[in-house]
């Protein structure tokens, strides 16, 4: 079998990043358009402003602990596959390929549909389809926008048209500018003498399951640090550089998230935030009128498109790589295997994998529309699967310390084993919380994972990569 240069067994990432570069990439990977939708869900599960601030601050701290665990894994076992590689090493090929299936069927496609609903909900604030489609179809404006943007992105990627890395990073800066604009809106309201929004009478929402639900949404907004931690394999200072980058990067993200929530509370109040479909648009309209609303809607829409495009590019390659490996092991054949495992050199893409991800993501938009949950349904759909595998990834630190004690570890998690154990407990708690919060979407997500376990998972003929 001929090995392509980019998949050569002895290839490894070059150490070319300094702390400044890694901080910028870390912030770009973590901060996404989801923050403009998750805050209302968090507010709906908590009983006070202080609890809201505490949840977002604690989310940043626990994310940093998790990133330290992933930094050790990435420094010791550098590989472009990230979690997929770590899980194969720690738990075997079957778990690794089941994770690859979950990325295709649940995590990547669910994230695309989730972001598409963010795009649709915000665009629906300023573009009313009722005047063209009538009240019945117009009521599904958010879903129609969501499905359309996925189809268009899929078609663009099938033509081999990609947004370059520089453009991706530049557009990602829009969401940071958007959160700074929210802080400016809150400051403007204060200068104008507008009194803070006062909370209305609220029901008791302090039950443990409600707090767990709040953290499911908080950690969803912090998602991305697991990918950022893999930068340790590209840091010039492999031992301390990644720690400094993650500490500074997640500190910036946490500060931005606290600023955004302060602005929401100052303008909308806890109950107003909990009821809002597009809190950033409402706040900017309150402070700066229609121009402010249009500005933030444009920033959210462009950011959603950018992140969805990145997921489509990365997700298609993960699907292609897994299908290729399954073909080599004669575990996936026929028309499906031939298509998913084919790379089109002329376009530089795996076309069947791109199309498959787009089709599944559109189907998930349909699921969110049928359940009338939209964004929330997608959170239900991907959360149990996401937290289940993240728990296993966190356990990989403990397993690989035991099974591969002689591996070179340029960076080790401090306070071992207590910090990895604490993060494992956090992931397990969020897994349980996401199951307790279970709705139709979560059942579908778990069902898709079960299908992969029965059909696609290797059965003993693949070995973990040495």
When pLDDT is averaged across residues 275-296 and rounded to a whole number, the result is 89
Closest-CA residue to 430 (of 115, 220, 205) = 220
Whole-angstrom distance, CA of residue 53 vs CA of residue 253? 14
When pLDDT is averaged across residues 167-194 and rounded to a whole number, the result is 78
Average pLDDT over the chain reads 79
Q: What is the pLDDT of residue 307?
A: 78
Q: What is the pLDDT of residue 234?
A: 67
Q: What is the pLDDT of residue 224?
A: 77
Q: What is the pLDDT of residue 220?
A: 85
Whether residue 161 has pLDDT greater than 70:
no
Whole-angstrom distance, CA of residue 67 vs CA of residue 419? 11
Residues sharing a CB contact under 8 Å with residue 323, sequence separation 6 or more, in sequence order? 332, 337, 340, 341, 353
When pLDDT is averaged across residues 294-318 and rounded to a whole number, the result is 80
Place 332 in a pLDDT band, splitting at 50, 70 and 90: low
Whether residue 445 has pLDDT greater than 80:
yes
Residue burial 259-282, b: 16+ Cβ < 10 Å; e: rest: bbbbbbbbbbbbbbbbebebbbbb
Whether residue 206 has pLDDT greater than 70:
no
pLDDT digits (tens, 9 = 90+) for 7-35: 443 444 566 667 777 777 777 767 777 78
Percent of the chain with pLDDT over 70: 75
Whole-angstrom distance, CA of residue 105 vs CA of residue 357? 8
417: cis peptide before it, omega within 30°? yes
Whether residue 458 has pLDDT greater than 60:
no
**What domains sit in the chain, N to C, each tagged with a CATH number?**
16-455 (1.20.1740.10)
When pLDDT is averaged across residues 166-192 and rounded to a whole number, the result is 77
Whether residue 209 has pLDDT greater than 70:
no
Whole-angstrom distance, CA of residue 360 vs CA of residue 386? 17
Whole-angstrom distance, CA of residue 466 vs CA of residue 462? 12
Whether residue 99 has pLDDT greater than 50:
yes
Whole-angstrom distance, CA of residue 7 vs CA of residue 22? 24
Whole-angstrom distance, CA of residue 146 vs CA of residue 442? 20
pLDDT digits (tens, 9 = 90+) for 364-374: 999 888 887 78
Whether residue 262 has pLDDT greater than 90:
yes
Place 3 in a pLDDT band, splitting at 50, 70 and 90: very low
Helix (H, G, I), strand (E, B) or coil at 235: strand
Residues sharing a CB contact under 8 Å with residue 368, sequence separation 6 or more, in sequence order? 113, 117, 143, 146, 374, 375, 377, 378, 441
* Highest mean pLDDT of the ranges 13-17, 419-423, 448-452: 419-423
**207 φ, ψ to 5°?**
-60, 150
For 81-107, where are the alpha helices, taking DSSP H only? 83-91, 93-102
Q: What is the pLDDT of residue 320?
A: 76
pLDDT digits (tens, 9 = 90+) for 189-200: 888 877 777 554
Helix (H, G, I), strand (E, B) or coil at 349: strand
Q: What is the pLDDT of residue 9?
A: 38
């Amino acid at each position: 079998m001929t090995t392509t240069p980019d998949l050569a067994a002895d290839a490894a990432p070059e150490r070319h990043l300094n702390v400044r570069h890694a901080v910028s990439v870390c912030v770009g990977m973590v901060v996404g358009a989801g923050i403009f939708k998750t805050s209302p869900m968090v507010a709906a599960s908590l009983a006070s402003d202080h609890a809201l601030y505490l949840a977002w601050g604690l989310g940043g701290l626990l994310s940093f602990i998790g990133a330290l665990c992933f930094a050790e894994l990435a420094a010791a076992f550098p590989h472009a596959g990230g979690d997929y590689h770590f899980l194969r090493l720690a738990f075997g090929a079957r778990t690794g390929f089941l994770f690859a299936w979950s990325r295709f069927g649940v995590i990547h496609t669910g994230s695309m549909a989730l972001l598409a609903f963010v795009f649709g909900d915000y665009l629906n604030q300023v573009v009313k389809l009722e005047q063209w489609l009538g009240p019945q179809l117009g009521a599904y404006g958010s879903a129609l926008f969501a499905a359309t943007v996925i189809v268009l992105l899929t078609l663009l990627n099938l033509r081999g048209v990609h947004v370059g890395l520089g453009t991706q990073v530049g557009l990602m800066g829009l969401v940071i500018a958007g959160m700074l604009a929210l802080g400016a809106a809150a400051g403007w309201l204060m200068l104008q003498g507008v009194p803070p929004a006062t909370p209305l009478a609220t029901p008791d929402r302090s039950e443990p399951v409600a707090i767990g639900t709040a953290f499911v949404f908080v950690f969803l907004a912090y998602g991305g640090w697991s990918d950022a931690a893999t930068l340790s394999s590209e840091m010039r200072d492999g031992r301390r550089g990644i720690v400094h980058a993650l500490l500074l990067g997640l500190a910036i993200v946490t500060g931005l998230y606290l600023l955004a929530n302060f602005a929401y509370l100052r303008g909308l109040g806890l109950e107003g935030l909990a009821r809002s479909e597009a809190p950033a648009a409402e706040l900017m309209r309150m402070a700066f009128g229609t121009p402010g609303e249009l500005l933030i809607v444009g920033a959210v829409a462009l950011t959603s498109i950018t992140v969805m495009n990145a997921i489509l590019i990365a997700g298609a390659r993960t699907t292609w790589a897994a299908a290729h490996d399954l073909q080599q092991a004669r575990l996936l054949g026929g028309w499906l295997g031939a298509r998913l495992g084919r790379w089109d050199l002329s376009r530089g893409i795996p076309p069947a994998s791109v199309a498959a991800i787009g089709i599944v993501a559109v189907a998930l938009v349909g699921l969110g529309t049928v359940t009338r949950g939209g964004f929330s349904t997608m959170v239900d759909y991907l959360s149990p699967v996401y937290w289940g595998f993240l728990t296993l990834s966190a356990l990989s630190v403990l397993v690989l310390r035991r099974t591969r004690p002689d591996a070179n570890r340029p960076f080790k998690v401090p306070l071992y084993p207590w910090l990895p154990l604490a993060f494992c407990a956090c992931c397990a708690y969020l897994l349980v919380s996401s199951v307790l919060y279970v709705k139709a979407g979560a059942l579908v997500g778990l069902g898709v994972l079960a299908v992969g376990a029965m059909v696609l998972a290797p059965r003993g003929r693949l070995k973990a990569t040495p």
